[in-house]
Amino acid sequence: SQQGEEDPQALSIQEGENATMNCSYKTSINNLQWYRQNSGRGLVHLILIRSNEREKHSGRLRVTLDTSKKSSSLLITASRAADTASYFCATGSDSGGYNKLIFGAGTRLAVHP
Amino acid sequence: KAGVTQTPRYLIKTRGQQVTLSCSPISGHRSVSWYQQTPGQGLQFLFEYFSETQRNKGNFPGRFSGRQFSNSRSEMNVSTLELGDSALYLCASSLWDDNEQFFGPGTRLTVL
């Protein structure tokens, strides 16, 4: 079963605009990760944020984590056509889950030139 | 370093057959996890192996099994294939627990 919801399910924007995707989860976590997937291919790791962190940056990516609300957001700034992909959040449990990740349903992002 | 590799990339089988998928992790990574991705159920955790031991198993029937070898390479096996087993099967490796996972390109299995 999936951990939670991602919102929106689909997002369509123009190049240069910012894209924000949200993720909610249900259980206590050790970390939350964001991945990108192009057209049913393998997943590419974007960023990992631990439960004691509130915000993390990597290039044009900014991730926030609110453990009290059990939610996270991914912001992609100045989007490019190459950012077109599906984005997934995944949570790692804090109860000995080792490397078991629970994925959300994903957000399909389309960036138009 | 070479990334995670999975073989074969595509596979077509018929109902009732069995299939074995292979995954080679990044050199030095001892944790290997398997996931199933379908349009209806999304990405679901199958199992994870570390140093040849299964540490975690997802909610899948016993037809799904796996193993890991001493060189960390892993295989998963699905017996008595059903139409619903058609999916993209992804393998991921990780250096440490609770850390980023590196995914392979996946094996797309079609069951006819």
Alpha-carbon gap: A15 to the closest alpha carbon of chain B (Å): 27
Q: Is the pLDDT of residue A1 over 50?
A: no
pLDDT of residue A16: 98
Specify whether the CB–CB gap between A111 and A83 falls below 8 A.
Answer: yes
DSSP B44: E
Residues from chain B that touch A40, judged by Cβ atoms under 8 A, are 37, 88, 106, 108
Q: Is the pLDDT of residue A4 over 70?
A: no
Chain centroid to CA A5: 11
pLDDT of residue A7: 85
Contacts of A22 (CB under 8 A, 6+ apart): A6, A7, A8, A71, A72, A73, A74
| Backbone angle region of B80, left / alpha / beta, with phi > 0 → left and psi within -120 to 50 → alpha | left
Segment among A13-17, A25-29, A54-58 with least mean pLDDT: A25-29
pLDDT of residue A3: 59
> Distance between CA atoms of B73 and B36, rounded to whole angstroms?
18
CB–CB contacts below 8 A, A to B: 74
Residues from chain A that touch B45, judged by Cβ atoms under 8 A, are 100-102
Give the position of tokens 């016993």. Answer: B62
Q: What's chain A's length in residues?
A: 113
Alpha-carbon gap: B37 to the closest alpha carbon of chain A (Å): 9
Is the CB of A31 inside 8 Å of chain B's CB atoms? yes
Residue A43's nearest CA partner among B27, B104, B30 is B104
> Distance between CA atoms of A99 and B104, rounded to whole angstroms?
16
Is the CB of A97 inside 8 Å of chain B's CB atoms? yes
Alpha-carbon gap: B14 to the closest alpha carbon of chain A (Å): 22
Specify whether the CB–CB gap between B57 and B42 falls below 8 A.
Answer: no
Residues from chain B that touch A101, judged by Cβ atoms under 8 A, are 33, 35, 45, 101
Between A93 and B71, whose confidence is greater?
B71
> Distance between CA atoms of A74 and A20, rounded to whole angstroms?
6
> Distance between CA atoms of B85 and B79, rounded to whole angstroms?
10
Q: Is the pLDDT of residue A97 over 70?
A: no
Whole-number CA gyration radius for chain A:
13
Give the position of tokens 């259980």. Answer: A27
Nearest to A99 among B90, B101, B105 (CB): B101
pLDDT of residue A27: 87
Backbone dihedral angles phi then psi of residue A81, each to the nearest 5 degrees = -55, -35
Chain centroid to CA B28: 18
> Distance between CA atoms of B46 and A67, rounded to whole angstroms?
26
Task: Quick: pLDDT tens for A34-62.
Answer: 999 998 788 999 999 999 999 999 999 99
Q: Is the pLDDT of residue A94 over 90?
A: no
Is the CB of A99 inside 8 Å of chain B's CB atoms? yes
Interface touch B56/A100, C-beta < 8 Å: yes
